Amino acid sequence: MNERLNALLKRYEELNELIQDPQLVKDQNRYRQVMKEHSHLSEIAEIQSNIEGLEKQIDEAKALVQEEKDSEMRELAREELKELETRLTDNSDKLKFLLIPKDPLDEKNIIMEIRAGTGGEEAALFAADLYRMYSRFAETKGWKFEIMNSNDTELGGIKEIVFSITGNNVYENLRYESGVHRVQRVPSTESSGRIHTSAVTVAVLPEADETEIDIKQEDLRIDVMRAGGPGGQCVNTTDSAVRITHLPTGITVHCQDEKSQIKNKAKAMRILRARIYEAEEAKAASLRAEARKTQVGSGDRSQRIRTYNFPQNRLTDHRINLTLYKLDLIMQGDTAELFDALKLSAKEELLQSSSTEAAAS
């Protein structure tokens, strides 16, 4: 950790000199990269400076406790020492997490897929609720989202929806949403007041740039057809829907939301690229592949990562044993506490595994 910290602080000093160079702004791409790196390292440098200052204050407080003859002054010094040590621990913990190497995928935009699983129409209604939850959270972060394909039900539910979210560190915040989401509530379609249990699956795919995934035209089979689904002026009137099959992998993508066949094809290619990218990432990281299989599953009730209990206003994330009694707010997009807890848990696991590997070596 100390070697990494010293290297990062040295790099921070280099960047401090680099950003003074007037030539830097002439290359906007490089300028953005440098400023982003500088912003991250400045946080590390600031916390390290705080730690050094606190350590100095702690030494002074300890000396005062030992040397002070006045009992009241000695007690005040002990209280100050306790507060300083707490602040030092907090800053040290923050620094440890910042020193964990960032996953390059964290900065990527995503394509999210939500599908109704077990539970029929109620599962479709909850899929629509989850889409609204994520879209409202995206709004609070200033992210942009775009529906790429959807299959709605006549009662306002969603059998399947695919959409993109674009912004800063989108994948970092939403990567842990992949899995089966179980809901317990009295459906609007239930007249007897009986609580139903349904399931919805969510998949989060980091979106790949065209330069990252080379898709050959001869590897594609493209079919066009008339759009289907309830309502809409263009449904079953024009051949605007597009289905693309990637022959080497067998991955198939269907898009019909746009009136234009060209636009549907462009969206389908983005989804296809993301799915292929994820498959290639999975090959390079078998642990991530195994995690995805466990999380997404088939939509069965038994394969769940989270439960939404509406009668008790309770949300439980089973992976980190977190329970929050504010489900009504969470469904309105107030999900920061939940997502932050998941990110923190993942970092703690990574930190622990890094420490174990270092001790073993």
For the stretch 164-205, pLDDT in tens is: 999 988 999 999 999 999 999 988 767 677 888 999 999 999
Q: What is the pLDDT of residue 289?
A: 41
Q: What is the pLDDT of residue 229?
A: 60
Cβ pair 196, 119 in contact under 8 A: yes
Residue 310 has pLDDT above 60, yes or no: yes
Query: Band of the pLDDT at 291, cuts 50, 70, 90?
Result: very low
Q: What is the pLDDT of residue 226?
A: 76
Q: What is the pLDDT of residue 44?
A: 94
Residue predicted with more confidence, 82 or 190: 82
Q: What is the pLDDT of residue 346?
A: 87
Question: For tokens 């759009």, what's the residue?
Answer: 227
Cβ pair 150, 141 in contact under 8 A: no
Q: What is the DSSP pairing of strand 179-185 with strand 220-225?
A: unpaired
Measured on CA atoms in the order 67, 70, 71, 72, is the torsion positive or negative? Answer: negative
Query: Band of the pLDDT at 120, cuts 50, 70, 90?
Result: confident
Domain 104-347, CATH among 1.25.40.10, 3.30.420.40, 3.40.605.10, 3.30.70.1660: 3.30.70.1660
Q: What is the pLDDT of residue 297?
A: 41
Q: For residue 223, which of 254, 249, 259 has the smallest C-alpha distance? A: 254
- CA–CA separation, 297 vs 299, rounded Å? 6
Q: What is the CA radius of gyration of the chain?
A: 26
- CA–CA separation, 237 vs 335, rounded Å? 41
Q: How many helices (DSSP H) and strands (DSSP E) are in the chain?
A: 9, 11
Token readout for 358 is 């270092």
Convert the pLDDT of each residue in 130-158 to its tens digit: 999 999 999 999 999 899 888 998 888 99
Measured on CA atoms in the order 1, 44, 345, 100, is the torsion positive or negative? Answer: negative
Convert the pLDDT of each residue in 22-61 to its tens digit: 889 888 889 988 998 898 899 999 999 999 999 999 999 9
Q: What is the pLDDT of residue 347?
A: 85
Residue predicted with more confidence, 273 or 212: 273
Residue 1 has pLDDT above 70, yes or no: no
Q: What is the pLDDT of residue 266?
A: 87
Cβ pair 312, 186 in contact under 8 A: no
Token readout for 214 is 């080379």
Average pLDDT, the chain: 86
Convert the pLDDT of each residue in 228-287 to its tens digit: 665 444 444 567 889 999 998 889 998 887 888 888 888 888 899 898 888 887 776 655
DSSP codes of every residue in 36-98: HHHHHHHHHHHHHHHHHHHHHHHHHHHHHHHH---HHHHHHHHHHHHHHHHHHHHHHHHHHHH
Residue 293 has pLDDT above 90, yes or no: no
